[in-house]
Amino acid sequence: MIFSDRFCQWIGHLKLSRVVICVSVILFLVPFVTHYYLSKYESTLGSLGSNPMRHTLEALGDFSTMNVVDLKLRIEEMLRIKASVSTELRELEARRSRLQREAAAASAKADSAKAEHARAAAELQRLRVSADQARLAQLEAIRRDSPELAPPIQILPSRPPPVLPTVSSSSEVHCRMFSCFDHSRCSLTSGFPVYFYDPDIYAPLAGAEVDGFLKTTLRQTLGYNAHLTHNPNEACIYLVLVGEAFPFDKNPSSTTESYKLLLNETAVKSLPFWGGDGRNHVLLNLARRELAVGSGDAFRGASIGRALIAQSTFTHEYFRPGFDIVTPPALGPPGGDVWVDCAPIAPARRKYLLSFQGSQPPAKGRDRDQDKNLIEYLQGIEKAAPSQDMFFLQFECDPPVERRAVLHIGDWALCGTDRSRRAILRDSTFVLILAPADRVYTTTALLQARLYEALRSGAIPIILGGDRIRLPYDEVLDWRRAVLTLPKARVTELHFLLRAISDADLLTFRRQGRVLWERYLSSVQASVDSLLATIRTRLNIPAQPAAPTVGLPAFNDSYSPPKSEPQLVEAEQDETLGPLEAPYSSPAFRRNFTLGLLHGYELWNDWGEPFALYPQLPWDPAVTSEARFMGSAAGFRPLGAGAGGSGKEFSEALGGDRPREQFTVVILTYEREAVLAAALTRLRGLPYLNKVVVVWNGPSAPGAATWPESGAPVVVVRAARNSLNNRFLPFHLVDTEAVLCVDDDAHLRHDEIVFAFRVWREHRDRIVGFPGRYHAWDLNYNNGFLYNSNYSCELSMVLTGAAFVHRYYLWAYWRALPAAVREYVDEYMNCEDIAMNFLVAHITRKPPVKVTSRWTFRCPGCPVTLSADETHFHERHKCIQFSLR
């Protein structure tokens, strides 16, 4: 135990000695080592020249002479200096960060000010251009001193027709519009009001009542007519439904079963607005039962004063050209879609070259002999015809037609049933129609019934004896483009003529025949509308303006979605594409009273729309170049003030054959507000943009999300139901002729849009756009038309997801396009663009125009679209097959 204690004491003394020895060595060696290296370092710096470090060391003194206490003090001082410097550095870093934030804020403010300056400069430029345009418009208005036109304001009479003395029977046959019609009741701005006598109250037949079907049908069809008025004091004409066939009484002294028609003249002349002589009254006799029973001129021998007669049977003696009107018999349905009842136009040549079905009339004398020789010659042609020319000629009905059913006027009776006759006509290239053997008749109901059936089935009518025949509404319809008329003496040249017609001409005849049948003869409504439109055309009274679609606003008057300013697209800031003008509507209703005079033929025979007045038409004529600047027109802005120019001058004016104008963008969307917002952003700064109409197809109203400004007024309308047909609704909000239909996910650059707009201005009757497609006959599979979107130089369609169309075609889509096509679009939610392409091509007989080299439109951030479905293209194949029926 004692040994252990001493050992520990020895170890403690040993450790203390070692510590003292180590400290002494350190205190002795450190000054020498430090002095050595500092001297060496100082000599090195001395060789390089003066250095602040040396002065600092000198100021501190020689470390070798310092004691431990001074060194400690120096170290503590240096630590304090270091802490102070660190604090100062941290403060400087904080200040630098603050300055950086302030600089970033100032930079953002500068960018905002720069953007605001750019917007202000653009707005200033727009105001300058608007001021220049307003100044030019003022000068043009002063120079021309002509008001802006609008739909006519009605000027109507306020009293019924005054009672005038009756006219003699001998004077009635000489009635014409200038001598027997009261034009004072039909002002040019009257709108052509028509009053219809209630057939349940006013019955002008003796001992018979008007057929209930006709009464109901006529009320229904006139109810859809824009000219109907219930105020007789303001009426221009008065329509009287006399009947479909008058009562007849057999004449026992006659051996040919002639019939005397009985008309209650007292009832007719007692009509409350007859005015003593019946002026401005139209007596309408629709033929249906007389096709089977038989009757002649319903008003032959009757005194009807100065009233017009509209019926399907007339004699040469009593027909008053330019006054009476030949109407077709009431064979079709009351109205509705008759397109599905038509036979296909192709192929050009069918099974039978010529067909005829009828029973020979009981004519006598020269007429009987002529028809007998005609029949013998036709039978000889049938026997001698080559094998490729098949005839179907039936001159006796099986079973024989009853004698009472054979018309006493020498008409050829119809054989078989409607179904059997239609089957033969659908297989016939031409169908023979023989004029009545009795030459006193200028037209008969049975002849027009044959014409009706032929046009419905696509068989081209050939009327032998047509040189003395009047056809329905022939004063406005050009029947030469749909019907071949030959004198009976040319029957020997008939076969030669039929063989000489080319396939292209056959299809042209057949197509025009279908146009005339569909629009003017196919239904009772079409026939009555055509009758009234014919009288109105005589009087040169414009039709009623076409009613636009009034869209339901998505927001009420007190609310509008908040707007945000979109960022300008850098790629387009430096590009000048045109002036930013204030909204400027296209001039409307400039041709209210001249359209029918200059283009009346086209209205009836080409465009097929004489029933309504439109603000503009794609075919409105352009002013000749020299007349534009010699006081005959306004709004023309030549390039470079007439000197022309390059890009800058070209972008400052549209030039061309048309005055300045703008376009409306119509966007169809379905509950995709983010995609819609991006679409509106892309329209910012687009030249010539008048307005943006957003058609909201969703069932719920758009939300309160922030929408970007597009640089033009934006109007959102809610559709009544979700339908792709809503893309082509003729909204009242559209004020321009040019309409740019755009999908909400279609990406178009401004230069592409402006270029397409310039091209459309020179091809206003066509579709001008971007995504091209084509359809072609598929020989490998189903022998039908194939829809294809592959890259090809073979283009036949331009999809309306990004295309310019004329405003008129929005109305035509709902008025001229068969309703079955729109129903098909709703059923499959597809093909509205194909339908519009086919419609425009059908009206104009021209292809669309594709611009730029772009083929498809991509939107990576958009939801899946309809076109991504695998069945999309299969449905579009079917759409083409359906549309070409």
Phi, psi (deg, nearest 5) at residue 157: -70, 160
Q: In angstroms, how far is CA 732 from the centroid of its own chain? A: 13
Residue written as token pair 């030459």: 439
CA distance 766 to 483: 29
- Within 10 angstroms of residue 173's Cβ, the number of other Cβ atoms is 11
Mean pLDDT of the chain: 81
Mean pLDDT of 118-122: 76
| Per-residue pLDDT at 386 | 83
Where does the pLDDT of residue 650 fall: very low under 50, low under 70, confident under 90, or very high at 90 and above? confident
* Long-range pairs of 619-622 with CB within 8 A, sequence gap ≥ 24: 619/764, 619/765, 620/590, 620/591, 622/657, 622/658
Sign of the four-CA dihedral 405, 406, 412, 416: positive
> pLDDT class for 149, splitting at 50, 70, 90?
low
Is pLDDT of 236 > 80? yes
Taking the C-alpha atoms of residue 871 and residue 138, their distance in angstroms, rounded to an integer, is 57
Contact indicator for 133, 586 with CB cutoff of 8 Å: no
Amino acid letter, residue 672:
R
Residue identified by tokens 């203390």 is 16
Report the range of poorest mean pLDDT among 272-281, 348-357, 378-387: 378-387
Q: Which residue has the higher pLDDT, 504 or 137?
A: 504
Cβ distance 804 to 756 under 8 Å? yes
pLDDT of residue 511: 93
Three-state secondary structure string covering 236-302:
CEEEEEEECCCCEEECCCCCCCCEEECECHHHHHCCCCCCCCCCCEEEEECCCHHHCCCCCCCCCCC
Q: What is the pLDDT of residue 664?
A: 97
CA distance 791 to 786: 15
User: Two tokens at 12?
Assistant: 């403690």
Q: Where does 635-680 show beta strands of DSSP type E? A: 663-669
Res. 412: pLDDT tops 70: yes
pLDDT in tens, 544-594: 999 999 988 888 776 667 777 665 544 444 567 777 778 889 989 989 999
Write down the residue that tokens 């013998």 correspond to: 376
| Structure confidence by residue, pLDDT tens digits, 434-477 | 998 888 889 988 899 999 999 999 999 999 999 999 999 999 99
Higher pLDDT residue, 709 or 419?
419
313: which 2 tokens? Answer: 């049977």
Distance CA 224, CA 524 (A): 12
Output the CA–CA distances (angstroms, integers) from residue 848 to 193, 270, 772, in the order listed. 39, 58, 9
Residue 284, CA atoms < 13 Å, CB-side half-sphere: 26
Structure confidence at residue 509 as a pLDDT band (50, 70, 90)? very high
Question: Looking at residue 36, what is its pLDDT?
Answer: 59
* Among 223-232, 285-294, 384-393, the range of highest mean pLDDT: 223-232
Using one digit for the tens of pLDDT, what is the confidence trace for 834-871?
999 999 999 999 999 999 865 545 544 444 454 555 67
Confidence of residue 157 (pLDDT cuts 50, 70, 90): confident
User: At which residue do the structure tokens 């047509």 appear?
Assistant: 466
**What integer pLDDT is reported at residue 146 of this predicted model?**
58
Q: What is the mean pLDDT of residues 693-711?
A: 81
Q: Which of 305, 353, 315 is nearest to 180 (CA)?
A: 305
Candidate from 55-69, 249-263, 498-512, 661-675 with smallest mean pLDDT = 249-263
**Which pLDDT band, with edges at 50, 70 and 90, does 372 fall under?**
confident
Alpha helices in 606-702 (DSSP H): 625-627, 647-651, 673-682
Question: Quick one: pLDDT band at residue 61, thresholds 50, 70, 90?
Answer: low
pLDDT tens digit sequence for 733-743: 999 999 999 99
> At CA 708, angle to CA 703 and CA 712, rounded to 5?
110
Q: How large is the average pLDDT for residues 628-639?
A: 76
Q: How far apart are CA 384 and CA 640, in angstroms?
A: 73
pLDDT at position 206 is 54
Per-residue pLDDT at 11: 45
pLDDT over 70 percentage in the chain: 79
pLDDT at 1: 47
The stretch 283-309 carries a mean pLDDT of: 74
pLDDT at 883: 72
Which residues are CB-contacts of 118 (< 8 A; sequence separation ≥ 6)?
A: 568, 573
Between CA 648 and CA 753 the distance in angstroms is: 17
- The larger pLDDT score, comparing residue 18 to residue 112, is at 112
- Which residue of the set 620, 743, 833, 869 is catalytic? 833
In the predicted model, is pLDDT for residue 283 greater than 60?
yes
Q: Which residue has the higher pLDDT, 712 or 15?
A: 712
Q: Which of 444, 440, 475, 480 is nearest to 323 (CA)?
A: 475
What is the average pLDDT across 399-419? 65
pLDDT tens digits, one per residue of 75-112: 888 888 888 888 888 888 899 999 999 999 999 999 88
- Of 613 and 82, the structure prediction assigns the larger pLDDT to 613
| DSSP assignment string, 296-337 | --TTTT---TT-EEEES-EETTT--TTTSEE---S-S-SSS-
Task: Report the alpha-carbon distance of residue 830 to residue 867 in Å, rounded.
Answer: 9
pLDDT score of 289 more than 70: no
Q: Look up 833 and say whether it is catalytic.
A: yes
Contact (CB, 8 A) for 475 and 322: yes
pTM: 0.81
HSE-CB of 65 using CA atoms within 13 angstroms: 4
Q: What is the CA radius of gyration of the chain?
A: 45
As separate numbers, helices (DSSP H) first and strands (DSSP E) second, the chain gives: 23, 28
Predicted local distance difference test score (pLDDT) of residue 262? 59
Contact indicator for 238, 266 with CB cutoff of 8 Å: no
Does 292 have pLDDT greater than 80?
no
Stronger pLDDT, 644 or 544, i.e. the higher one:
544
HSE-up (13 A, CA, CB side) for residue 229: 19
Mean pLDDT calculated for residue range 510-536 = 94
pLDDT more than 90, % of the chain: 38
Looking at per-residue confidence, does 573 or 361 come out higher? 361
Residues 6+ apart with CB under 8 A from 734: 548, 664, 666, 691, 693, 807, 810
Most confident of 206-220, 510-524, 850-864: 510-524
Residue 177 in this model has a pLDDT that exceeds 50: yes
At 366, the pLDDT band (50, 70, 90 cuts) reads low
174 φ/ψ angles, rounded to the nearest 5 degrees: -100, 10
What integer pLDDT is reported at residue 23 of this predicted model? 52
